[in-house]
A and B are shown apart, each in its own frame.
Chain A
């Protein structure tokens, strides 16, 4: 379908915002590493990949903006904190702990890869076309972060311990990525967000565990409780309000300014 039925609009906008918000905030967090990553090569690569996150976010905001009659800038900068639908995992500061930064991207990139892969088969044609391009780029992120995980897992005792403790610390938060947005069942039923077999959590866990094992790291993931309410319903950590405040301060000076 080229035109979206009205009853699917709100659910799709929420799903798109959850994808774009994750990428926008993750890209912003990752950008903090520019000039600080452990080696020069990785510094440049990590910055380049975080630019991808932002550009993916822009492209998805644009589709959402078209559906609600807004603009990508307004969606990115002019919503209230509880209108953002990102997961808590992307909000927290990695405290410039490289192991945390790598593991966070490990969880997010694998999740984004599956999510964009599903959207690439969407019955809503404009979205499928965009997601088809984005998923090919997301694969680069997955390859890159898997490479880092394997290197650090196989590095020495210190690097393995740091990675293991980062994985253990982030795993309970990471499953928050899987929290469904409102109305997702309708989108699945209409093929706008096609289901996959095995289902999302199993696929994601399997992908992650496969790489973790090859990296000599252990990974325990509990399926998220169905009643758990978090980022996808606009509930965010305390860190998020101050993050957003800083992120939007230039925009708020003159919201109508042309850039």
Chain B
């Protein structure tokens, strides 16, 4: 940055005739860090259309980390639930639908050790003959 900025021409008082918010609308940005992985919400940009939003999103959210793909969606096109009125998570006990209580770990360990024994046996046989 140069010292030219010390003598910045500023617009005269009241010279800004367009409203500060302009005609831009919000777009939600989703970035993908690796092909095949899900897109993750990264943030928002204001733009007049999707093409412009995509240009901005590439520079805003695509440069902090390696990024392979970006989606932009006009917020007006998104439908969301209402914090006050829409219940999403049930308050009644529905723990039966969660995959809890299976002793998978022990079974897996048993299976692994059986496989290991088979490998040892193979080695033993090789040494024998």
B31 is an interface residue with CB less than 8 A from chain A? no
- Among A31, A41, A96, A243, point to the contact of B45 (Cβ < 8 A): A41
Chain A residues with CB under 8 A of B3: 246
A179 to chain B, nearest CB (A): 25
Task: Knowing A44-B59, A96-B8, A143-B55 are in contact, say whether A39-B46 is a contact too (CB < 8 A).
Answer: yes
Counted as pairs of residues, one from A and one from B, with CB atoms less than 8 Å apart, the total is: 49
The 8 A CB mask of B47-62 against A (1 = contact, 0 = none) is 1100110011011100
Chain B residues with CB under 8 A of A40: 46
Q: Is the beta-carbon distance between B59 and A147 smaller than 8 angstroms?
A: no
Q: Is the beta-carbon distance between A151 and B48 smaller than 8 angstroms?
A: yes
- Among A36, A45, A140, point to the contact of B60 (Cβ < 8 A): A45
Chain A residues with CB under 8 A of B60: 41, 44-45
B14 to chain A, nearest CB (A): 16
Q: Is the beta-carbon distance between B1 and A41 smaller than 8 angstroms?
A: no
Number of interface residues of B (CB under 8 A): 21
Q: Is the beta-carbon distance between B55 and A28 smaller than 8 angstroms?
A: no
B36 to chain A, nearest CB (A): 22
B5 is an interface residue with CB less than 8 A from chain A? yes
Q: Is the beta-carbon distance between A36 and B4 smaller than 8 angstroms?
A: no
A158 to chain B, nearest CB (A): 9
Interface residues of A in 47-99 (CB under 8 A from B): 48-49, 93, 95-96
Q: Is the beta-carbon distance between A45 and B59 smaller than 8 angstroms?
A: yes
Q: Is the beta-carbon distance between A39 and B24 smaller than 8 angstroms?
A: yes
Chain B residues with CB under 8 A of A45: 55-56, 58-60
19 more A-B residue pairs beyond the given contacts A36-B8, A41-B46, with a C-beta to C-beta distance below 8 A:
A28-B2, A31-B1, A32-B5, A34-B1, A39-B22, A39-B24, A42-B56, A44-B59, A45-B55, A45-B59, A48-B59, A93-B4, A96-B4, A96-B8, A96-B9, A143-B55, A151-B52, A243-B2, A247-B2
The 7 A-B residue pairs with the shortest CB-CB distance in the complex, in nearest-first order: A45-B59, A48-B59, A41-B56, A41-B45, A144-B55, A147-B55, A31-B1
**Which residues of B does A touch, CB under 8 Å?**
1-5, 8-9, 22, 24, 45-48, 51-52, 55-56, 58-60, 63
* Selected A-B contacts with CB under 8 Å, 29 pairs: A28-B2, A31-B1, A32-B1, A32-B4, A34-B1, A36-B8, A40-B46, A41-B24, A41-B47, A41-B60, A42-B56, A44-B56, A44-B60, A45-B55, A45-B56, A48-B63, A49-B59, A93-B4, A95-B9, A96-B9, A140-B58, A143-B55, A144-B55, A147-B51, A147-B52, A151-B52, A243-B2, A246-B2, A246-B3
